[in-house]
Amino acid sequence: MERNVRDLLNLYNPNDPLDHAWTIPSPWYFDPGIHELEQQSVFAKTWQVVGRAHQTLDKGSFFTADLADEPIVVARGDDGQLRAFYNVCRHHAAAVVTESQGCAKQFRCPYHGWTYGNDGRAEGHGGVRGRLQFRSHEKWARAGEGGH
């Protein structure tokens, strides 16, 4: 029997006294509706840690990760700025960065060769460099660095 998300949420009473407290209800661990609610309410609205600063100390260094079911690449641009991008080519929707970590001046989609700078800008495809049909200043995502 499938329950709606509201019914599943009501299985837990956060006002129970501590001596009557239970762990969260088991459906919260596997229900797709709860998963989606958690993704949108928690992960999509707050900063999430995906790595450590030492992974991207050098210009051009990068690593990949999955965050909230989305593939991302975190890279330090040639300007020293740390950025995160969705690891998806705008043209073919393939993973642009196929290595888990490394150092690169640009990233190239393995399907049709579309390239992106380590600052996230779309750079081109072979002979059409600089003439792509979308705004090249749009980045894939955002990143930030915490204090030391």
Confidence at 142, pLDDT banded by 50, 70, 90 = low
The verdict on pTM exceeding 0.85 is: no
Confidence at 3, pLDDT banded by 50, 70, 90 = confident
Average the pLDDT over 6-21 and give the result: 88
Residue 95's SS3 state is coil
Q: Are 135 and 90 in contact (CB under 8 A)?
A: no
Q: How far apart, in Å, do the first and last CA atoms of the chain sit?
A: 49
pLDDT, one tens digit per residue, over 38-87 is 988 888 888 888 999 899 999 999 999 998 888 999 999 999 999 999 99
Confidence at 139, pLDDT banded by 50, 70, 90 = very low
